[in-house]
């Protein structure tokens, strides 16, 4: 069987080196290797773009390209083509770097054995092919697994629903009184149903995060409220294990710019873990404060007095499907998805997550979240020097219901639609639509901030009114809108005042105005 | 005052029965349909005050059923609550755009289900759904 000729692209600017390399192929069967020799990177890229090359032999010092950059450019031009770099004797560090960038191998000039070169080439091609196959297979398997997990988590919901329904029907006494033992057993069932549900939720969450389908909506978020809320939720579990669960959070802590549902989810996972790995009579704590190393962030720490994490494992615990090795703790292992979900959620909200631990001295899991700052949100609006303007128009849209009360569930969808509509009404792409600015019961407010004067403010207000009115004619939604604007003036920025300071000053005025609008509507949740 | 009527459109017989027992205990009368086609005829027959609708149904999914209801002048005004194993933002948006009153994910917490039903029937003003326990 006659094999196809091996197409080698030799990129080498030294005529002497090129000749030596060519000679190394002289013992090969005639016609089995075709060498295309070019001296410049630009010619190499042109050849690669044409296609048909099986392997590249690349000198890393060319008239129009040098060092690791040549490897990157060659790989960008033809990602599927294996590459061997040629280096000098004293360049092994560079060669290592090239390998990390994806080169298959490196050969040191002057040390290449005659017969070895063709063999090295064939091996490199074969290795590359196998690698590509493995990568593709891995990708296909991951996708298949994600689809499978998504399917499974959906299919498990119906039977779980039926079990939950009938267990609670009995527990609620709808079919008659229960004796204490019956009640206890059904409570155990219910606890397990909840565990099962949370596993199914985790499965789905991971597949969604993986597919980028997860929605994260950062807004003004109170960490003290969320910490108190989750601590209360888990107090019972802690007490049942004899663990003291406490929190230490300054109530006046700055707000975070984060999605409250997601932060709650993170806290629950971390606290759940802490409780799981802490023995009876242990302690679990939540701390939250401004992050000392970067005061633009809040730091939340969940610590426990459990078995700790082995130092070698400390990086791995955030990987998908990681499970703690046998810790001697009774209980179930779970799916190994929790910390992975935490990491994804924290990172997507602009924070970081890490762990510290010493074996048998417990573990501290810490994460950061950006502090809510109107100043940083509105900074883009001041990016272009609109020097004549020393005012900011804030267009306020209130979304309500004809019944006078908009429940949080009902508001979700209209709220997204109003946001989309408002984005289309903004005058310039420098105008800023603020995120949800805090809890107002029964109604929802939206704020557009624009660096402009009365005329601009009026124009945006009119556009918003028209667009929302047009929207409502088509759909009978039972929703009401009211739109108005307020002009906030500030003394002009003098030459010596830094832009940041000026923006900060404006941000404070905006905050006061927002508080003024929202606060009469805030209903404190008494429960 | 007579009991309010709820049509449960759900293909899983066990889930259907579970809902029936729960709703009956709260003094609602329940009727059933197990597929897309019979849901419309059952609604015509019983004129329910509210419909609980599953999305994955034999003979056409819940979205198709909703379209059929909304296209009918008499049935179109009946509030619809989606109760589905299908989750995700896309389904939720699609359901709300099609005119659903609420979107609940299976398994639904009992208290939440009842709170949403009462609100959709106009029996409570402030549902404060986020305050009730979550399963």
Nearest to A447 by CA among A386, A518, A520, A350: A518
User: CATH number for the domain including B39?
Assistant: 3.40.50.2300
**Looking at chain A, how many residues does it have?**
527
Q: Which token pair is A140?
A: 């296909």
Q: Give every residue of chain B whose pLDDT is below 50, as ranges.
A: 127-134
Inter-chain contact A162–B14, Cβ cutoff 8 Å?
yes
Identify the pLDDT of residue B132.
Answer: 41
DSSP string, A186-234: HHHHHHHHHHHHHHHHHHHHHHHHHTT------EEE-HHHHHHHHHHHH
Q: Which residues contact A191 (CB under 8 A, 6 or more apart)?
A: none
Contact (CB, 8 A) for A244 and A285: no
3-state DSSP call for residue A94? helix
The fold of the A6-132 domain, in CATH, is: Rossmann fold (3.40.50)
- Residue extents of the structural domains in chain A: 6-132, 156-210, 219-370, 374-521
Mean pLDDT, chain A cut into blocks of 10 residues (527 residues total): 78 88 82 88 89 89 84 85 83 82 84 79 87 86 79 86 96 94 94 87 81 81 91 87 88 89 91 87 91 93 85 78 62 73 92 86 91 86 65 87 64 75 79 78 84 85 85 63 85 69 86 82 44
Average pLDDT of every residue of chain B: 87
The fold of the A374-521 domain, in CATH, is: Alpha-Beta Plaits (3.30.70)
Q: Which residues contact A494 (CB under 8 A, 6 or more apart)?
A: none
Query: Nearest-CA distance from A31 to chain B in Å?
Result: 59
**Looking at chain B, how many residues does it have?**
135
Inter-chain contact A215–B89, Cβ cutoff 8 Å?
yes
Radius of gyration of chain A (CA): 32
Q: Which residues contact A292 (CB under 8 A, 6 or more apart)?
A: A299
Query: Nearest-CA distance from B41 to chain A in Å?
Result: 25
Q: How far apart (Å, rounded) are the C-alpha atoms in residues A217 and A215?
A: 6
Name the residue facing B125 among A193, A213, A405 (closest C-beta).
A405
Q: How many CB atoms lie within 10 A of CB A175?
A: 11
Identify the pLDDT of residue A405.
Answer: 64
Residues spanned by the domain of B73: 4-131
Identify the pLDDT of residue A233.
Answer: 85
Contact (CB, 8 A) for A304 and A267: no
Name the residue facing B110 among A158, A168, A413 (closest C-beta).
A168
Identify the pLDDT of residue B32.
Answer: 95
Q: How many CB atoms lie within 10 A of CB A15?
A: 10
Contact (CB, 8 A) for B5 and B28: yes
Q: Which residues contact B54 (CB under 8 A, 6 or more apart)?
A: B9, B10, B11, B12, B62, B82, B83, B84, B85
- Give this prediction's pTM: 0.64
Identify the pLDDT of residue A98.
Answer: 86
Residues of B in contact with A162 (CB under 8 A): 12, 14-15, 18
Inter-chain contact A405–B19, Cβ cutoff 8 Å?
no
Cα B84 to Cα A153, A167, B6, B55, distances in angstroms: 13, 20, 17, 6
Inter-chain contact A409–B129, Cβ cutoff 8 Å?
yes
If you classify domain A219-370 with CATH, what class do you get?
A: alpha beta
DSSP string, A266-297: HHHHHHHHHHHTS-TT-EEEEEEEE-TT-TTE
Q: How far apart (Å, rounded) are the C-alpha atoms in residues A346 and B78?
A: 42
Size of interface A-B (CB pairs under 8 A): 91
Q: Which residue of A has its CA nearest to B127?
A: A407
Overall number of domains in chain B:
1
């Amino acid at each position: 069987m006659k094999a196809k000729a091996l197409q080698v692209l030799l990129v080498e600017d030294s005529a002497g080196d090129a000749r030596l390399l060519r000679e190394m192929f002289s013992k090969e069967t005639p016609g089995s290797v075709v060498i295309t020799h070019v001296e410049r990177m630009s010619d190499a890229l042109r050849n690669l773009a044409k296609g048909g090359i099986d392997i590249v032999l690349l000198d890393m010092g060319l008239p129009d390209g040098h060092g690791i950059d040549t490897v990157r450019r060659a790989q960008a031009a033809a990602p599927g083509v294996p590459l061997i770099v040629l280096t000098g004797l004293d360049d092994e560090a560079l060669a290592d770097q090239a390998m990390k960038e994806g080169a298959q191998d490196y050969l040191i000039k002057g040390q290449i054995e005659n017969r070895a070169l063709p063999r090295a080439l064939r091996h490199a091609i074969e290795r590359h092919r196998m690698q590509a196959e493995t990568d593709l297979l891995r990708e296909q398997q991951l996708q298949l697994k994600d689809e499978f997990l998504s399917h499974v988590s959906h299919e498990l919901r119906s039977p779980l629903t039926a079990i939950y329904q009938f267990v609670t029907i009995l527990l609620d006494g709808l079919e008659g009184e229960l004796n204490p033992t019956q009640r206890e057993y059904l409570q155990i069932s219910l606890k397990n149903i909840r565990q099962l549900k949370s596993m199914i939720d985790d499965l789905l969450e991971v597949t969604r995060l993986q597919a980028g389908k997860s929605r994260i909506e950062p807004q003004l978020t109170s960490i003290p409220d969320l910490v108190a809320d989750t601590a209360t939720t888990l107090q019972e579990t802690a007490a049942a294990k004899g663990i003291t669960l406490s929190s230490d959070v300054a109530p006046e802590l700055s707000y975070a710019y984060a999605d409250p549902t997601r932060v709650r989810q993170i806290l629950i996972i971390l606290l759940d873990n802490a409780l799981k790995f802490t023995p009876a009579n242990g302690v679990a704590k939540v701390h939250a404060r401004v992050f000392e190393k970067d005061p633009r962030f809040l730091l939340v720490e969940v610590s426990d007095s459990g078995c700790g994490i082995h130092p070698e494992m400390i990086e791995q615990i955030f990987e998908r499907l990681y499970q703690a090795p046998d810790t001697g703790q009774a209980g179930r292992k779970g799916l190994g998805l929790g910390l992975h979900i935490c990491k994804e959620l924290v990172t997507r909200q602009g924070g970081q997550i890490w762990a510290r631990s010493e074996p048998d001295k417990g573990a501290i899991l810490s994460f950061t979240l950006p502090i809510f700052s109107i100043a940083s949100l509105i900074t883009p609006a001041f990016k272009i020097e609109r020097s004549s303007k020393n005012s900011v128009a804030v267009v306020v849209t209130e979304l309500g219901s004809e019944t006078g009360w908009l429940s949080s569930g009902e508001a979700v969808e209209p709220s997204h639609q109003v946001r989309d509509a408002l984005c289309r009404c903004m005058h310039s792409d420098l105008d800023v639509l603020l995120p949800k600015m805090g809890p107002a019961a029964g109604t929802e407010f939206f704020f557009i901030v624009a660096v402009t004067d009365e005329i601009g403010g009026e124009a945006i207000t009119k556009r918003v009114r028209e667009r929302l009115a047009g929207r409502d004619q088509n759909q009978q939604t039972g929703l009401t809108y009211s739109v108005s604007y307020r002009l906030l003036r500030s003394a002009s920025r003098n030459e010596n005042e830094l832009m940041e300071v000026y923006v900060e000053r404006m941000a404070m005025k905006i905050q006061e105005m927002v508080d003024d609008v929202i606060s009469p509507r805030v209903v404190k949740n008494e429960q | 005052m007579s009991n309010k009527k709820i049509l449960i459109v759900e293909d899983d017989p066990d889930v259907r029965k579970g809902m029936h027992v729960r709703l009956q205990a709260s003094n609602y009368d329940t009727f059933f349909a197990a597929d897309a086609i019979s849901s419309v005829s059952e609604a015509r027959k019983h004129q329910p005050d509210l419909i609980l609708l599953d999305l994955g149904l034999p003979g056409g999914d819940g979205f198709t059923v909703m379209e059929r209801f909304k296209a009918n002048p008499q049935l179109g005004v009946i509030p619809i609550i989606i109760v589905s194993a299908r989750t995700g933002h896309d389904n939720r948006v699609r359901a709300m755009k099609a005119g659903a009153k609420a979107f609940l994910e299976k398994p639904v917490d009992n208290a939440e289900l009842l709170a949403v039903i009462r609100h959709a029937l106009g029996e409570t003003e402030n549902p404060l759904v986020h305050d009730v326990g979550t399963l």
